[in-house]
Structure 1
Amino acid sequence: MRESQNRKTLIAIVGPTAIGKTALAIALARHYNTEILSADSRQFYSEMEIGTAKPDVNELASAKHHFINSHSVTQLFSTGDFEIEALKVIDTIFQNQDLAIMVGGSGLYINAVLNGLDEMPEIDLAIREKLNMQLENEGLEVIQNQLKLLDQEYFEKVDQNNPQRMIRGLEVVLSTGQKLSSMLSFTKKQRTFNIIKIGLNTDRAKLYERINLRVDKMMENGLLEEVKSLIDFKKHNALNTVGYSEIFDYLDEKITLNNAVALIKQNTRRFAKRQLTWFKRDQEINWFEPGQTRAVIVRINERLASSETTKGPNLH
């Protein structure tokens, strides 16, 4: 454990899916005797287990986790809600510890905690309803194409297979005439704690191999049965995401199971590429290869011992 410092520090672990962020977060939590916040936008949901690659029972027992199985897919839990709730949890951890750890690959959620969210404009609810009806009647591709045309920068930053993200970007520009991408980079709230950002990455071929192996493991662990059990929740936004929507298409006899698995791998690889595009813009992230836990600890200790840590750095 490090020597006592005047300031509390949040360690943010980021990177693409399947890179090993969970293992690193647990190793750091055990080393520094602290707790973990998940900033994965799907691990909040208790109904979604296998397809979200949550920490397993042993991993959850190794360190205290927050925002794992904390909500139901039937509940709305926005990025703004996460900002508020996560800051409360961080304050609670800091009552007893000097460090807290946040881990995840959801750039918007990470950003909400580190920098705060910009004030969003009022949305015309009639436009939102119309877009939701359009999604149901015409499918996601129509929404994707409209958003790409009207706000390509936002379209390329977020999960394009997430209908909620697509509709959010589209409803803003249709309601206000302003692009959501232009609203996500101006305001940065100052935090009361230091921030150290650690990124995990490896060469593209190794990453894609890890992703493919993870998907195969999910299928072995019963992803098909899990998705079958969630048919009643099918229309909830959380389930219109990679790993679930493809299996639903199989169950609807639109594609074969082999095609569904291949699409999960392809869509996950594309998602990982977008995650890296998001995080690579941040020059303050300290990048490491998976498995370099000792080097990460050395770097964190160097930062803790120096004045390099800054209040609320930018993750845009």
Structure 2
Amino acid sequence: MNNTLIIIAGPTAIGKTALAIKLAQYYKTEIISADSRQFYKEMNIGTAKPSQEELEAVKHHLIDSHSILNQFNAGDFEKQSIEIINNLFLKHKHVIMVGGSGLFINAVCHGFDPLPVASEEIRGGLNKLFEENGLIYLQEKLKIVDPNYYKEVDRNNPQRVIRALEVFESTGETFSSLRKHKKKERLFNIVQIGLNTNREALYQRINSRVDEMIIAGLMEEVESLKEYKHLNALNTVGYSEIFDYLDGKCTKDEAIEKIKQNTRRFAKRQLTWFNKSEDIKWFSPDQLEPIIQYLNSIL
């Protein structure tokens, strides 16, 4: 097991992509994205994908690889990313994975329990409930049927809440009871690096990024996807708020402020997830040399 997967994790806007590119160049390797939205080719500005210049600097995988019309969950991510990782290890000793999705990273590190696929009727019914009654209604429904999962799930992520309810309605069993949490053995080493900074600096990064997205055309991107707003892929921060603006539920300025607020909350939840892991070594995003020194000491 000389091959090593280096994982760069942390909250949104912390600088994971920039660091991953520098490390990939240093170790002469490639990058796999572990972002739960960047693989959707229709979603660009709002997902903060690497720029064309960044994509050309280092080869990336699982960017623009899927359509919002196709479901892609943590189980799918595990299968595809492990296949890519194994292929990359045929030519590289080290591979970089970068992203803020704790669920996806966990699927690679520990495996993901296979769960039943819901029928279109069940999924459609839950999506209709979401459209008509909102997320709080579904959260309360989940709290009743699966209180254990309700306590740990990202309750502000409609896709995760709906998925848990799909499993319950399909099987009569709770999402939490069907997860065995049996760790899979990987035929490679895993080293996890976490990036963080003080809250004030992180929130400033987030606010600035949202402003840059608006200037880059986020409003227009979301408007072009309005006919697909019922899809789970688009029930996410940066898109839901603008759909509300387009539907006349708020002003443009209110939508932008709501994106900033919800992104800050999302970052807080990401950190809560990652802080549970004892396997992550934490650094600030500007500590390139200490990170390389740490990695070289254990690789």
TM-score by length of 1: 0.89
Over 6 Å off, 4+ runs:
none
RMSD: 1.9
Q: Which residue of 2 aligns with 1:266?
A: 261
Q: What secondary structure sits across from 2:112 in the alignment?
A: coil
The alpha-carbon distance between structure 1 residues 204 and 153, as it changes in their structure 2 partners (threshold 3 A), is: farther
1:131 is displaced (CA, Å) by 2.0
Distance 1:21 1:152 in 2: 33
Deviation readout 1:102-155 (Å, 9 max, x if unpaired): 010111111111111123257577544432332233222211222234445534
Is residue 100 of structure 1 aligned with residue 104 of structure 2? no
Do the aligned residues in 1 keep the contact of 2:4 with 2:190 (CA within 8 Å)?
A: yes
1:213 is displaced (CA, Å) by 1.0
- Farther-moved stretch of structure 1 (176-185 vs 250-259): 176-185
Is residue 13 of structure 1 aligned with residue 35 of structure 2? no
Q: 2:82 aligns with which of 84, 87, 97?
A: 87
Q: 1:224 aligns with which of 219, 226, 240?
A: 219
Distance 1:97 1:89 in 2: 12
The alpha-carbon distance between structure 1 residues 126 and 68, as it changes in their structure 2 partners (threshold 3 A), is: closer
Is residue 143 of structure 1 aligned with residue 138 of structure 2? yes
The alpha-carbon distance between structure 1 residues 52 and 278, as it changes in their structure 2 partners (threshold 3 A), is: same
Distance 1:121 1:299 in 2: 41
Distance 1:123 1:76 in 2: 11
Q: What secondary structure sits across from 2:236 in the alignment?
A: coil
Distance 1:38 1:122 in 2: 24
Distance 2:67 2:121 in 1: 26
1:272 is displaced (CA, Å) by 0.8
Q: 2:52 aligns with which of 52, 57, 82?
A: 57
AA at the equivalent of 1:253: G
Is residue 29 of structure 1 aligned with residue 24 of structure 2? yes
The alpha-carbon distance between structure 1 residues 54 and 303, as it changes in their structure 2 partners (threshold 3 A), is: same
- Farther-moved stretch of structure 1 (292-301 vs 124-133): 124-133
Do the aligned residues in 1 keep the contact of 2:143 with 2:150 (CA within 8 Å)?
A: yes
The alpha-carbon distance between structure 1 residues 257 and 157, as it changes in their structure 2 partners (threshold 3 A), is: farther
Do the aligned residues in 1 keep the contact of 2:75 with 2:113 (CA within 8 Å)?
A: no
- Farther-moved stretch of structure 1 (154-163 vs 55-64): 154-163
Aligned ranges 1:145-164 → 2 under 5 Å: 145-164=140-159
Q: Which residue of 2 aligns with 1:313?
A: none
Structure 1 unaligned residues grouped into runs of 5+: 1-5, 305-316
Distance 1:118 1:271 in 2: 25
Q: Which residue of 2 aligns with 1:297?
A: 292
Deviation readout 1:155-178 (Å, 9 max, x if unpaired): 454443432211112233455554
Do the aligned residues in 2 keep the contact of 1:26 with 1:62 (CA within 8 Å)?
A: yes
The alpha-carbon distance between structure 1 residues 57 and 31, as it changes in their structure 2 partners (threshold 3 A), is: same
- Farther-moved stretch of structure 1 (177-186 vs 143-152): 177-186
Question: Identity percentage over the alignment?
Answer: 57
Distance 1:154 1:292 in 2: 36
Q: Which residue of 1 aligns with 2:242?
A: 247
Is residue 195 of structure 1 aligned with residue 212 of structure 2? no
The alpha-carbon distance between structure 1 residues 157 and 104, as it changes in their structure 2 partners (threshold 3 A), is: farther
AA at the equivalent of 2:281: N
Q: How many residues align?
A: 299
The alpha-carbon distance between structure 1 residues 77 and 191, as it changes in their structure 2 partners (threshold 3 A), is: same
Structure 2 unaligned residues grouped into runs of 5+: none
AA at the equivalent of 1:132: N
AA at the equivalent of 1:203: N
- Farther-moved stretch of structure 1 (33-42 vs 150-159): 150-159
Distance 2:144 2:196 in 1: 31
Do the aligned residues in 1 keep the contact of 2:111 with 2:184 (CA within 8 Å)?
A: yes
